[in-house]
C-alpha cells in the first residue's frame, strides 16, 4: 500500500535548484500546495567520496532537521 494522505493530492507549485553552492553539493527548494495550504521545503544533497548522493539537510516550513 503506498503512503499518502487522505486529503487533497499535493501539487508542486514552484521549484528551484542551485547546482554549485559548493563542489559536489546541490541545494533545492520547492513550494507544495495541498488544498488551500502551501508549504515550503528545502534540502541539500552532497556527493561523497564513493560518488553517491546523500541528503545532508532538510527543512520544512522553517523547522530544520539535519
pLDDT tens-digit profile of 25-64? 999 999 998 888 888 999 999 999 999 999 999 998 855 4
**Exposure string for 24-56, b = 16+ CB within 10 A, e = fewer:** eebbeeeebeeeeeeeeebebebeeeeeeeeee
pTM flag (> 0.75): no
Contact 47, 53 (CB under 8 A): yes
Q: How far apart are CA 20 and CA 11, in angstroms?
A: 27
The pLDDT-based confidence of 2 (bands split at 50, 70, 90) is low
Amino acid at each position: 500500500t503506498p503512503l499518502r494522505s487522505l486529503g487533497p493530492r499535493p501539487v508542486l507549485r514552484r521549484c528551484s535548484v542551485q547546482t554549485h553552492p559548493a563542489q559536489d553539493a546541490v541545494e533545492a527548494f520547492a513550494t507544495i500546495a495541498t488544498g488551500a495550504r502551501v508549504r515550503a521545503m528545502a534540502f541539500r544533497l552532497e556527493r561523497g567520496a564513493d560518488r553517491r548522493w546523500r541528503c545532508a539537510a532538510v527543512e520544512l516550513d522553517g523547522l530544520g532537521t539535519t
